[in-house]
Amino acid sequence: MSSGALVGVEWLLERVGGEGVVVLDASVGAHRRKGPWIPGALVFDIDGEMSDGGSAVPHTMLGEEQFGERVRELGIRAGDQVVVYDAAGIYSSARAWWMLRAAGFERVAVLDGGLPAWVAAGGPTSAEPGEVPEREGDFAARLAPGAFLGLEDVREALDGASGVRVLDARSRGRFAGTEPEPRAGLRGGHMPGAVNLPFGELQDGEGRMLPAAALRERFDALAPGDGRLVVSCGSGVTACVLALGAELAGHGERVSVYDGSWSEWGLEGTGTPVVTGKV
């Protein structure tokens, strides 16, 4: 199964290791670099070199020149078919997909169900990641305007920009401020006017994305019309699961990712307004 932005395990089993097919492991956190790996998979290190380490908030997108350089260092060429996955199902792989798409790389898809689905289907695994090929990549990154938004952009959207809806991918408890934030120094709660759509609610119980019709129902219920969608989360990672869901639902052109997400908005002392309580 393939729907452009999403490919199934069966699809990849037939093509893994083939010419021009590049598999990237975009796992983060506890799963990072611990394996196992899909054979030949290269590490797309969102916790490390694929994010801006000089930023005050985690997982900040690199500038286009530096991002393009990092992608070329993986030997990726503009004509390749890239498939990204992670060890949690679909969690951080969507972030890698969005980063590449936002930088102008169109032939990239997320592996539905990620590594757990691959293993469950009997797919082979390796104890080590693949070796970066000697060939030189040729991808030149060009970031699409509006793909990533900063704090002031989101402030303006929340101040009444016509048709803009902010969707927050965090858990319902974190959104309401009844659960603690996993990062120190962050207030609980959410942005005024934001709507909660936990990223896991766009997936089945096995980490696969829901069918397109079901995704459309969720987006149409929370963000009717054709206005702009701004997606947010804790640090800009699972917000991209919402971006993927919107793409599969036919609303991909409407989406921007708030890159700093709650790691920026929720910081103590920023003066940004926060709403708490049951929603």
Answer for the pair 251, 219: CB distance below 8 angstroms, yes or no. Answer: yes
> Which is nearest to 189 in space by CA: 209, 171, 215, 210?
171
Q: Residue ranges of the alpha helices (H) in the chain?
A: 9-13, 64-73, 93-102, 114-120, 151-158, 172-176, 212-222, 239-248, 261-265
> Which is nearest to 267 in space by CA: 195, 188, 198, 193?
188
Strand partners, 230: 166, 256
Active site residues: 233
Any idea of the CA torsion for 4, 6, 11, 16, to the nearest 10 degrees? 100
Quote the distance between the C-alpha of residue 211 and its chain's center. Answer: 18
**Dihedral sign from CA coordinates of 264, 268, 271, 274:** positive
> Which is nearest to 239 in space by CA: 99, 52, 62?
99
The secondary structure element, H or E, covering residue 270 is none
Any idea of the CA torsion for 100, 214, 4, 87, to the nearest 10 degrees? 60
**Dihedral sign from CA coordinates of 118, 109, 157, 145:** positive
| Residues near 65 by beta carbon (within 8 Å), at least 6 away in sequence | 141
> Which is nearest to 189 in space by CA: 272, 91, 260?
272
Answer for the pair 242, 178: CB distance below 8 angstroms, yes or no. Answer: no
